[in-house]
Amino acid sequence: MHNVQNKIIELAKQASQQSFCPMSGFSVGAAILLKGENQSENYFVQGINYETQNYRSVCAEKHALQNAQLQYKNLKAYQIAIYSPNSPEPIMPCGDCRQALFDNNPDLEILAIGSNNEVKTFTAKELLPFAFSLNSKTTSSEEAPAPIDLKQKDLLNYIVHFPVLEHRLQYLQNMQALIIVGSPVRAAKMAMDLGADCLVEEYCHLQSGNTDREYSLFSLSWSDLPYKVGIASHGIGSSGIEIVLAELNALITLANNTNEKSLPLKAIIRSGTRGTLDDIPLGSLALTNLAFDDNFNSNLPSEELVEYLKTAAQNLNLNLYEGACLSSQFFWSKQGRSAYPLTLSADGFNELEKNNNEYLFSLKQKNIKYLEMEDYYLNSFAQKYGCQSASVGIVLARRYEQNLNKFILSYDKNIKKENELIPGKLALLALKQYLSVN
């Protein structure tokens, strides 16, 4: 058995070398051990993570499961090894993959390996103790599943990224506003950076090593205020923000034990980062006053919430730079950064850079000041559910150099490290002011 384990670990390492991850540069490989009914023969399949520019990517674990279904449909999976050369610590499956692995075999042994070759072993049910199931407890396949309250079942169908922790649902009761950020690490930092008068309760903080592959949700409450505010991560891109907001809505509704169509949330503010096409200083606070998608459909943030953000900025002596924002699904390549610079010839790269520059100049002519991925979709979701929305962020990347009249890549990691929590503090002050009169 030890030799078999060594083999799937080696196959996972080999697979990681074929990973396609031009956006993140974070390679992951997986290998699955399958056996027939008599368990006399071993079969192996591999999987890799495969990234696309619109962030609808496939994880290595799911790719391996798909290959197993395609090649060995009737065989049972017994072990899966997951390896990344980019993570010193053992790499853990994301929440969505944990559900997929659990569905395949709750007793599936998961070997998590990092670049230091440390191996951590879990079963699928250990990694996902509150796994979603269409059926409740059954003792045999012949028994009918126990009845599930229809309202609760429909709500639970939303929950994929955030677990249903019944012993913590009270943390979410009377949560009337959300601050949402892309990264679970940033959500945790923001929650832990608040004043002593705020009670912070961790509903969940799922994080794999040093990567942002999972999700966080924290509850903030104050002894003298009748409401709570949540801080949650939404992942990356339009699909991430819309799915997660629907899940959070369902989860908070479940906590409040109300009709599923009622919405306890009154306001959502996104605290993020962005690039700018204007010649404004890095580290500036940017406020979206008009949002577009890639097809130049537009929507507006909530006028009332925008005014509360402006007032909060004045109270904190912060300057806000207002402007129109494009939420682009091609965030990486069309900001003057090619997703594939190393695979192109010099002529090919120059042509791509020329096309990028033409695209960015066309945006500038349309008075687009900011580029990011989620603001338009935040407003769309909020308007659909009758909720106020707004977005504020730190400018980390300046794309346009006025003196040169050309587009450049100017990115400052130190500004992110020092200032990434400032928009969240502004959002929290604005939400408290808004909720106090609504």
Is CATH 3.40.50.1580 the right assignment for the domain spanning 274-419+430-438? yes
Give the pLDDT confidence of 282-323 residue by residue, as tens digits: 888 999 999 999 889 999 999 999 999 999 999 999 989 999
Burial status of residue 397 (CB atoms within 10 A of its CB: 0-12, 13-18, 19 or more): buried
Evaluate whether 94 touches 213 at the Cβ level (below 8 Å). yes
Give the pLDDT confidence of 78-118 residue by residue, as tens digits: 999 999 998 888 888 888 888 889 888 888 999 999 888 88
The mean-pLDDT minimum among 22-36, 164-178, 267-281, 351-365 falls in 351-365
CA atoms of 381 and 389, how far apart (whole Å): 9
Strands 267-276 and 175-181: parallel
Give the containing element (helix H, strand E) for 256: helix 237-256
**Predicted pLDDT of residue 302:** 96
**Predicted pLDDT of residue 139:** 34
Give the pLDDT confidence of 258-270 residue by residue, as tens digits: 555 556 789 999 9
Give the pLDDT confidence of 397-412 residue by residue, as tens digits: 766 666 666 666 666 6
Nearest one of 252, 206, 191, 192 to 227, comparing CA atoms: 252
Share of the chain above pLDDT 70, in %: 78
Give yes or no for residue 395 having a pLDDT over 80: yes
Give the containing element (helix H, strand E) for 177: strand 175-181
CATH architecture of 2-127: 3-Layer(aba) Sandwich (3.40)
**Residue bearing the bigger pLDDT, 235 or 178:** 178
- Of how many residues is the chain composed? 438
Range 43-50 contact pairs with CB under 8 angstroms and sequence separation of 24 or more: 43/71, 43/72, 43/75, 44/7, 44/8, 44/11, 45/71, 45/72, 46/11, 46/12, 46/14, 46/15, 47/15, 48/15, 48/16, 48/18, 48/19, 48/20, 49/19, 49/20, 49/21, 50/19, 50/20, 50/21
Give the containing element (helix H, strand E) for 318: none
pTM of the shown model: 0.63
Encoding tokens for residue 315?
């109270």
Q: If you average pLDDT over residues 167-186, what whole number do you get?
A: 91
Return mean pLDDT, the chain. Answer: 81
**Predicted pLDDT of residue 142:** 37
Give the pLDDT confidence of 371-394 residue by residue, as tens digits: 888 999 999 999 888 899 999 999
**Predicted pLDDT of residue 195:** 65
Q: If you average pLDDT over residues 272-285, what whole number do you get?
A: 85
CA atoms of 132 and 282, how far apart (whole Å): 44
Burial status of residue 149 (CB atoms within 10 A of its CB: 0-12, 13-18, 19 or more): exposed
**Predicted pLDDT of residue 271:** 95
| Residue that has been written with the tokens 């490290």 in this structure | 417
Domain residue limits, the chain = 2-127, 150-265, 274-419+430-438
| Residue that has been written with the tokens 């912060």 in this structure | 318
Give the pLDDT confidence of 325-351 residue by residue, as tens digits: 999 876 544 444 443 344 444 454 455
**Predicted pLDDT of residue 111:** 94
